[in-house]
Structure 1
Amino acid sequence: MYLLLDYETIRHDSFITNKIKVIQMKNALITGSTKGMGRAIAIAFAKEGINLAVNARNTDDLAAFKTELLDINPNIKVFTAVADGSDRQQLLQFAEGARRELGAINIIVNNLGMYKYSNILDDEQGLFEKMVNTNLMPAYELYRLFGKDMAAAGEGHIFSICSVASLNPVVEAGIYSVTKAALLSLSNTMRLEMQEHGVKVTAVIPGSTLTDSWKGQDVDKDLMVLPEDVASAILTIYKMSKGANVDQIIIKPAKGQL
């Protein structure tokens, strides 16, 4: 576990002393971390002094982001791994590496996701497996890897980035809606399993959010949820008192879905 020493000045009537405070830094693992919501969440955590484990498939993007995070807060540790989070073996290698480098993982953010316009009857062969492996499998595997450790420690927080499509299916994105609904169901199940152990689980349900899913489309960012909005919500939820948990939070554009 990475520790930070701080000095607290204590004033008495006749003298001043410095008392060393040991601050136990928390470790967060975020999938799909260099773009969109994952990027914004990592930056928000870095500003709070939380150590980070981030992955991406692009080596240059990952290296640049690590430098950016350490520029934001040079007191944190940042573990990076070039890994495709939709590949089970690469995902678990990344996660195990994060645990070796940082110590116990206290926060998981299941952010990795894939959106594709397609009616189910028109899906290309293999899209179902690809969507499941991207939108659902990583959350399941990370929970199985870290869940018992969190339960034994009696603390931790798991966030899963779902979608309003998990509540109201989008016909034009059928299998995406199905996998996000499954992720929401997984989040609900994890929460029920973990609540007696003091581990919190929150489903984050954004509406139309300005990410790469909208790349190439002419959209007005002022009519959309921004990644920073999602990051702000997650940080606020994480900083709530020990006895409080947000089961689900829905964040939609103020003027409605696009």
Structure 2
Amino acid sequence: MKNALITASTKGMGRATAIALAKEGISLALCSRNGNDLDAFKNELLSINPGIKVFTSVSDVSDKQQLIAFAKGAENALGPISIIVNNAGMYEHQSIFDDNDGTLQKQINTNLAPAYELYRYFGKKMKDAREGHIFTICSVASLNPIAEAGTYSVTKYALLGLNKVMRTEMQPYGVKVTAIIPGSTLTDSWKGMEVDKDKMVLPEDISSAIVNIYKMSAGANVDEIIIKPAYGQI
């Protein structure tokens, strides 16, 4: 049985991906800052597929110590991790001029550092096993900066750059690395705003892409996939 680790797992794209992987019979390591959400979601996943294992950890992945504790706990509970979904992220809609002191570091710690640290922790193990798949949820802001979300754009550019480095380093060992690049997606980032969900990418679109890419033949890797709203960005 394969094991997947997903950061920020109880909402949005992380939640949809966990459900999709559970349906494929993949055991899961999930984290969130809310223990009640984790407990409820674990029960939901086990009702979807009683044959899998689900490990949960109340963790703030922007804190390196908590992140590594989550990674170690996942290994101890499930065994080797062969799928990583770097989903954790935060969005702030403001220009760099309007940033508060500490905004850059805060977004680096949330949007970039967890993927970097998990790669450092699991990468050599995947290399030695010569198998694994790392998915990194980036953003269209990784390709075209959003002036109204300047620091977010900077960190997402860096995240896509990290993904490219990981793919280059892992390529000789058959470990796959894929950047998922969504446009306007119906997640909590839009909470409080009036939006038409029929004109947005849904979290289930992202999870469907991840599962289908994962199920490709051993010799195929999707470097990057861009998924945008059919009517254009919101």
- TM bucket (normalised to shorter chain) is over 0.9
- Quote the Cα distance in structure 2 between the aligned partners of 1:180 and 1:49: 31
Mind listing any 5+ residue stretches in structure 1 that lack a counterpart?
Answer: 1-24
Q: For residue 230 of structure 2, what is the amino acid of its counterpart?
A: A
1:155 alignment partner, one of 131, 143, 149: 131
Larger relative strand fraction: 1
1:83 is aligned to 59
Gaps of 5+ in 2: none
Pairs aligned (count): 234
Q: Give 1:106's aligned amino acid.
A: S
1:219 equivalent to 2:219? Answer no
Report the AA paired with residue 227 of structure 2: I
1:141 aligns with 2:102: no
* Alignment partner of 1:127 out of 100, 103, 109: 103
Q: Which residue of structure 2 aligns with residue 109 of structure 1?
A: 85
- Aligned with residue 244 of structure 1, among 204, 217, 220: 220
Structure 2 distance, partners of 1:106, 1:125, is 38
Q: Per the alignment, in what secondary structure is the counterpart of residue 158 of structure 1? A: strand
For residue 204 of structure 1, give the secondary structure of its aligned residue in structure 2: strand
What amino acid is the match of 1:157? H
Q: CA deviation at 1:243?
A: 0.1
| RMSD, matched Cα | 0.4
The AA in structure 2 aligned to 1:178 is V
TM-score (norm 1): 0.90
4+ residue segments displaced more than 6 Å: none
Give CA-to-partner distance per residue, 1:204-242, whole Å, 9 cap, x none: 000000000000000000000000000000000000000
- Aligned mates of 1:65, 1:113 — CA distance in 2: 20
Aligned residue in 2 for 1:32? 8
> Hey, what's the Cα distance between the residues in 1 that align with 2:208 and 2:33?
26
Question: Higher mean Cα deviation, 115-124 or 243-252?
Answer: 115-124
Q: Deviations over 1:153-210 (max 9, x none)?
A: 1100000000000100000000000000100000000000000000000000000000
Deviations 1:23-56 (A, max 9, x none): xx10000000000000000000000000000000
Distance 1:49 1:137 in 2: 29
- What SS does the aligned partner of 1:63 have? helix
Higher RCO structure, 1 or 2 (CA under 8 Å, sep 6+): 2
Residues 106-162 of structure 1, C-alpha deviations (whole Å, 9 max, x = no match) = 000000000001100110111111100000000000000000000011100000000
Aligned residues: percent identity? 71
- State which structure, 1 or 2, has the greater radius of gyration over its C-alpha atoms: 1
Q: Does 1:199 align with 2:199?
A: no
Amino acid at match of 1:91: L
1:98 has 2:74 as partner: yes
Q: Distance in 2 between matches of 1:228 and 1:75?
A: 22
Q: Tell me the TM-score normalised to structure 2 length.
A: 0.99
Q: Which amino acid aligns with 1:26?
A: K
Normalized per residue, the structure richer in helix is: 2
1:208 aligned onto 2:184: yes
Taking the TM superposition and a 5 Å limit, the aligned residue runs for 1:185-196 are: 185-196=161-172
